[in-house]
Amino acid sequence: MSEENAAKEPVEGFESPVNLKYSFAAGRATAKFLREIKQGRIVGQRSSITGKVIVPPRGSDPETGTATVEEVVLPDVGTVISFTICHLPIPNNPIMPPFIIANIVLDESDQTFIHLVSECNNEDIQIGTRLKAKWKDSSEWGLSMENIQYFVPLDEAPIDIEELKQKRLKETEKYRNA
């Protein structure tokens, strides 16, 4: 379309992005989690009813609705429960597609969270791949899960996630109604 014709086209709509600035009230459990991750520590919470460990903790156990108080310091090593290779760019993020977003369960915990996986060939990642966190330089740490830049695969064989689940469920039995 020429510029002259474009000028004659009726305007039927235009984009008007809205910016909303707000304060995030994290709540007691999440605030503690964020203060710990600012120090480079990942701290989850254990349900006193089911014995399972939840990270990031939200102050209650979604299975039973009970408050969670017991803290558990977790390693920054985990397993890919599933993943997608994303072919769309993330706005304002330097990472270029295709990149991997994985559902990760940390060792000694029971609930997945999502994070990036990098420093690998995308084809080498599979369900059960073992990972370790790659942290940003500590001078950049803030109240954010993004203190972990991404996860990188460990030089270990992938594990069977069904077996991992059964192993964890057995382990958590010890902590039930403690």
Pick 4 or 12: Cβ nearer other proteins: 12
Minimum Å gap between C-beta 2 and other proteins is: 23
Minimum Å gap between C-beta 33 and other proteins is: 6
Residue 59, classed as helix, strand or coil, is coil
Minimum Å gap between C-beta 1 and other proteins is: 17
Rounded CA separation 134/92 (Å)? 20
Q: Taking phi first (over 0 means left), then psi (-120 to 50 degrees means alpha), and beta for anything else, what does residue 146 get?
A: alpha
Pick 4 or 19: Cβ nearer other proteins: 19
Pick 40 or 56: Cβ nearer other proteins: 56
Minimum Å gap between C-beta 23 and other proteins is: 12
**What DSSP element (H or E) covers 27?**
helix 27-38
Minimum Å gap between C-beta 143 and other proteins is: 6
**What DSSP element (H or E) covers 74?**
strand 70-74
Pick 4 or 25: Cβ nearer other proteins: 25
3-state SS of 127-177 is: CCCEEEEEECCHHHCCCCHHHEEEEEECCCCCCCHHHHHHHHHHHHHCCCC
Pick 4 or 20: Cβ nearer other proteins: 20
Which residues lie near other proteins (CB under 8 A)?
12-13, 18, 24, 26, 30, 33-34, 47, 50, 52-54, 56, 61-63, 81-88, 90-91, 93, 98, 101-103, 110-116, 127, 143-146, 148, 165, 168-169
Rounded CA separation 1/141 (Å)? 50
Rounded CA separation 176/64 (Å)? 12
